[in-house]
Structure 1
Amino acid sequence: MYNEWFSIGPITIYGYGFMIALGIFVAYRVVLYRGIKANVEQSHIHNLLFLGLAGGFAGAKLLYWITQFKNIANDPSILLNVSQGFVVYGGIIGGIAAGYAYCQKSNLNFLKYLDLFVPSLALAQGFGRIGCFFAGCCYGEETHSWFGIMFHHSELAPNDVKLVPTQLMESAFSFFLFFVLLYVARKKRPSHGVIAGLYLVSYSLGRFGIEFFRGDLIRGEFGPFATSQWIAIGVVLITCFVFMLKMKMPRSEYRR
């Protein structure tokens, strides 16, 4: 698990950054392919992708700063480090919010486009967590089980002790979720918003469970649960509430 792969002159290629970039590229190709098949205007896909990435980056960074408020108060220089320190849930919320604003301004069906993008979001997360594995961040707690992994040169994870491979666990879960979402979208052809709701609930439940095995306490804890677990609970409750309201709408509006 080496994060620094190789250098070309002054440019260093890092495993974390490479996997993030690869995930974005593959996710873009998938959403573009699905969008073309669905006769969606490509300009909207490009705009939503750009705004989603910008909103996701801002949201992930902002939520990280919120969880690190006490540390930032003691050391404000943390705010200057823009290359490290992100919270995935902040990225999801920020990206969705940016997409919602664009759809409202462009008079587009937000849920239709959200359904188009969320399978690719799960796919990108799968690649991103492999990047976390290379970097050593988001590591698991110490274990003596056979499936534990050991870092030897990590700047973030504890070295020379067996850890639960939470990065790979979430990566595998995200890839699995990607294929499930594609299957449901292709075979079941559900109403607008169902794929997005399935993603939000499924990812939140999976993330809630994996968080119990995380060992990087820097992410913040409140009471019995980590920050991400509280957010997961909120996402599930809000998503279920929205769908309860949606199901009470007239059938014509429900499928619009």
Structure 2
Amino acid sequence: MYNELIKFGPITIYGYGLMIGIGILAAYIVTDYRAKKINVDREPIFNIAIWGVIGGILGAKLLYYVTIINQIISAPKLLLNISDGFVVYGGIIGGILSAFIYCKKSKMNFLKYFDLIIPSVALAQGFGRIGCFLAGCCYGEETTSKINVIFKHSNFAPNNVRLVPTQLISSGLDFLNFAVLIFIAKYKKADGIVVGCYLVFYSAGRFILEFYRGDLVRGSVGSLSTSQFISIFMFIIGLGIVYSRSYKKIDEVEN
């Protein structure tokens, strides 16, 4: 589509960056609102968000470097290209680790706050994927289906070719994940349940959607893409969290 949305002289507002910004702002507003509604201390939310965003950016960039390590060995100058190339899973892992470190340093209940924040992460991802659509990155494979998108001015996706609209599908799944997690949060029996459900839902959707991606510069592990390989472990971890936290709550009730 059109990534360059508005120009003010030398200043250009890009759709990708704008959507990322909107996603982060929306995530923070929703998290703060929900914290107030359920009487959770709102003061640490901003700091957790900052740590999560910084850790997410670093993690997304680092995992991208891992996927192109052979190219970096041949051309180390690729390390200087910090504006392009991010892997969502790296962002998720980096954001979680950073938030965990902050909560531990501040002696806070990590699972309690993470359950509060994680639906908003899915919300931010939904906006982020719209940014991917505007930029043309993370595009789908060629298709003859009536459900398709044709890029005309993309610097990433092949132009004038019918492609699976993977960015929009992913965005829709992220928004759906957000809505479902909000519902689950209202009826959860123990801290950590929402986090586990997020990992299960996101990894399952991502694993399937990867089969329809057309951008090849994403790395692979055997016959699976890097993201599919990580999805397997994330799915198992998510199930483990849901089971262990549910079982722990049942055990506490019985005793």
**SS of equivalent residue, structure 1 residue 190:** coil
Deviation at 1:107, TM superposition (A): 1.2
Residue 229 (structure 1) aligned with residue 253 (structure 2):
no
**What's the CA shift string for 1:94-132, capped at 9, x where partnerless?**
000011111111111111111001100000000000000
Alpha-carbon distance in structure 2 between the residues aligned to 1:202 and 1:190: 19
Deviation at 1:248, TM superposition (A): 5.2
**SS of equivalent residue, structure 1 residue 5:** strand
Contact preservation (8 Å) 2:189, 2:249: no
Residue 214 (structure 1) aligned with residue 208 (structure 2):
no
Letter in 2 for 1:35: A
Give the alignment of 1:60-75 within 5 angstroms. 60-75=60-75
Give the alignment of 1:83-122 within 5 angstroms. 83-122=83-122
Deviation at 1:191, TM superposition (A): 1.1
TM-score (norm 2): 0.95
Could you tell me which residue of structure 1 aligns to residue 45 of structure 2? Answer: 45
Alpha-carbon distance in structure 1 between the residues aligned to 2:240 and 2:123: 26
Give the alignment of 1:1-256 within 5 angstroms. 1-186=1-186, 188-247=187-246, 249=248
**SS of equivalent residue, structure 2 residue 176:** helix
Q: CA RMSD in A?
A: 1.5
Q: How many residues align?
A: 253
Shifted more, 211-220 versus 243-252: the winner is 243-252
> Which structure 2 residue ranges, 5 or more long, are not aligned?
none
Letter in 2 for 1:217: L
Contact preservation (8 Å) 2:59, 2:95: yes
Shifted more, 1-10 versus 163-172: the winner is 1-10
Deviation at 1:80, TM superposition (A): 1.0
Alpha-carbon distance in structure 2 between the residues aligned to 1:202 and 1:249: 22
Alpha-carbon distance in structure 2 between the residues aligned to 1:228 and 1:100: 22
Alpha-carbon distance in structure 1 between the residues aligned to 2:248 and 2:207: 31
Call closer, same or farther: CA 1:6–1:244 in 2, change over 3 Å. Answer: closer
Contact preservation (8 Å) 2:52, 2:94: yes
Alpha-carbon distance in structure 2 between the residues aligned to 1:252 and 1:47: 34
Deviation at 1:165, TM superposition (A): 0.4
Q: Percent identity, aligned pairs only? A: 53
Contact preservation (8 Å) 1:184, 1:190: no
TM-score (norm 1): 0.95
Call closer, same or farther: CA 1:11–1:28 in 2, change over 3 Å. Answer: same
Alpha-carbon distance in structure 2 between the residues aligned to 1:37 and 1:132: 33
> Which structure 1 residue ranges, 5 or more long, are not aligned?
none
Alpha-carbon distance in structure 2 between the residues aligned to 1:194 and 1:148: 36
Letter in 2 for 1:134: L
